[in-house]
């Protein structure tokens, strides 16, 4: 009879081929005597990570692989991996060997013995440490931790931890409301929970990466901020509307710079300058939104041309709506005072909402998928 696993270890991967075999060797050693399985969730790595996992799975039935096509993201990969098991306890651990797998048995013991929802491995608890981090990374981590406390519903020493274990019942309770954005799944879980979670922390020391390259880049910062916005303001407004509006504000600056260059700097006509500036600003807005706001639905290749055309058409109609609403309100309100300002703002808001709603449907109209933003 096949033994049902009590513990599932979920390992999100992207280009981690050099670490798979060593991680499995360590898991087999520390989980001896425990019924377990490991689920690698690979975002279609180009370095053969999936093939390495498959080779290991052929000789060890506890090893499983989920290969994701067309979507990426550590948090969403973790969610998919946890939902793919029926084990009552689920752990999430990185594939880069920086997390100390030796504390997995103690995490499981605590969950079994105590009335807990989740056990978090902490670098900042007494007995733990951040290892050989540089000053900039340590500083960035402190800033990110302070920001995390704005949405956190627990007193954690390490809310940025990517190493934790929970009861699968908790995941079933929260899965439909998790954002799956970015790389901090633990913070997503705590910010989503409608009640205070029963939690304990265990110290561990963060280790050096064994093989492969770090995935930390500027986009990681954007995804983190995006997730914080989703958890703090997402209940009031569509979270994509916030960066969409911010990009629109930058587009206004681009518009004015181009207009000044043509109309003042090159002594061109105002109509010519305004026309070119409008086209340049719309193009700027389209590509920045494609890169950031709709990163999980990013258009590529020939889809970029189709998307740009639909975006400029939608925004052109939005400009007409902007002017129409503003003009109507201006002529319908008392003269003088600040009514002209309110009329203009109302027109801008109507135009922005129109642009967001229409382009979400006709420009970036792919089905929503969990993954990087």
* pLDDT, position 148: 61
Nearest to 370 by CA among 41, 97, 46: 41
Written as six digits, the tokens of 135 are 């000053």
Domain definitions of the chain by residue range:
7-233, 241-362
| pTM reported for the whole predicted model | 0.69
Model pLDDT for residues 106-131, shown as the tens digit of each residue: 999 999 999 899 999 988 888 877 76
What is the pLDDT, as a whole number, of residue 186?
83
Q: How confident is the model at residue 322 (pLDDT cuts 50, 70, 90)?
A: low
Q: What is the CATH number of domain 7-233?
A: 3.90.550.10
Q: How far apart are CA 66 and CA 77, in angstroms?
A: 9
pLDDT digits (tens, 9 = 90+) for 336-353: 455 555 655 666 677 777
Instruction: Quote the pLDDT of residue 371.
Output: 40
Q: In what order do the strands lie in the sheet with 89-92?
A: 63-67, 36-42, 7-13, 89-92, 164-167, 118-122, 199-203
Report the alpha-carbon angle 199-203-208, nearest 5: 125
Q: What pLDDT was estimated at residue 20? A: 94
Q: Are 15 and 49 in contact (CB under 8 A)?
A: yes
Closest CA to 162 of 59, 214, 92: 92
Could you give the angle at which helices 241-260 and 339-362 cross, rounded to 10 degrees?
110
Q: Which residue has the tokens 């389209």?
A: 286
Cβ–Cβ < 8 Å for 20, 102: no
259-280 b/e (C-beta count within 10 Å ≥ 16 → b)? beebbeeeeeeeeebeebbbeb
Average pLDDT value for residue range 76-101: 92
Q: What length does the chain have? A: 373
Number of helices and strands in the chain (H, E)? 12, 7
CA gap 31, 26 in Å, rounded: 8
Tokens of 24: 């499995």
pLDDT digits (tens, 9 = 90+) for 23-74: 999 999 999 999 999 999 998 898 899 999 999 999 999 999 999 987 777 8
Q: Are 290 and 243 in contact (CB under 8 A)?
A: no
């Amino acid at each position: 009879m096949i033994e049902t696993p009590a513990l599932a270890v979920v390992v999100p991967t992207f280009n981690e081929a050099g670490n798979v075999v060593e991680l499995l060797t360590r898991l087999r050693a520390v989980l001896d005597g425990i019924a377990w399985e490991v689920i690698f969730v690979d975002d279609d790595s180009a370095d053969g990570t999936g093939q390495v996992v498959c080779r290991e799975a052929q000789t060890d039935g506890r090893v499983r692989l989920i290969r994701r096509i067309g979507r990426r993201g550590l948090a969403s990969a973790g969610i998919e991996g946890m939902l793919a098991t029926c084990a009552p306890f689920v752990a999430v651990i990185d594939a880069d060997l920086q997390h100390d797998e030796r504390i997995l048995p103690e995490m499981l013991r605590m969950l079994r013995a105590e009335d807990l929802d989740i056990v978090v491995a902490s670098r900042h608890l007494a007995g733990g440490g951040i290892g050989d981090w540089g000053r900039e990374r340590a500083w960035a981590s402190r800033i990110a931790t302070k920001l995390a406390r704005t949405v956190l519903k627990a007193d954690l020493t390490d809310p940025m931890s990517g190493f934790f274990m929970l009861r699968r019942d908790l995941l079933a309770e929260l899965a439909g409301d998790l954002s799956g954005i970015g790389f901090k799944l633990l913070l997503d879980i705590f910010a989503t929970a409608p009640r205070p979670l029963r939690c304990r922390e265990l110290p561990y020391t963060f280790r050096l990466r064994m093989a492969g390259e770090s995935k930390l880049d500027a986009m990681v910062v954007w995804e983190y901020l995006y997730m914080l916005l989703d958890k703090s303001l997402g209940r009031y407004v569509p979270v994509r509307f916030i960066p969409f509006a911010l990009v629109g504000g930058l587009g206004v600056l681009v518009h004015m710079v181009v207009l000044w260059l043509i109309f003042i700097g090159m002594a061109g006509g105002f109509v010519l300058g305004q026309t070119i500036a409008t086209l340049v600003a719309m193009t700027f807005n389209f590509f920045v939104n494609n890169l950031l706001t709709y990163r999980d639905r990013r258009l590529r290749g020939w889809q970029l041309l189709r998307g740009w055309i639909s975006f400029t058409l939608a925004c052109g109609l939005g400009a007409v709506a902007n002017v129409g609403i503003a003009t109507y309100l201006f002529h319908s309100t008392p003269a003088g005072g600040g009514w002209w300002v309110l009329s203009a703002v109302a027109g801008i808001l109507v135009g922005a909402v129109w642009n967001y709603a229409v382009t979400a449907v006709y420009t970036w109209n792919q089905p929503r998928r969990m993954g990087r933003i």
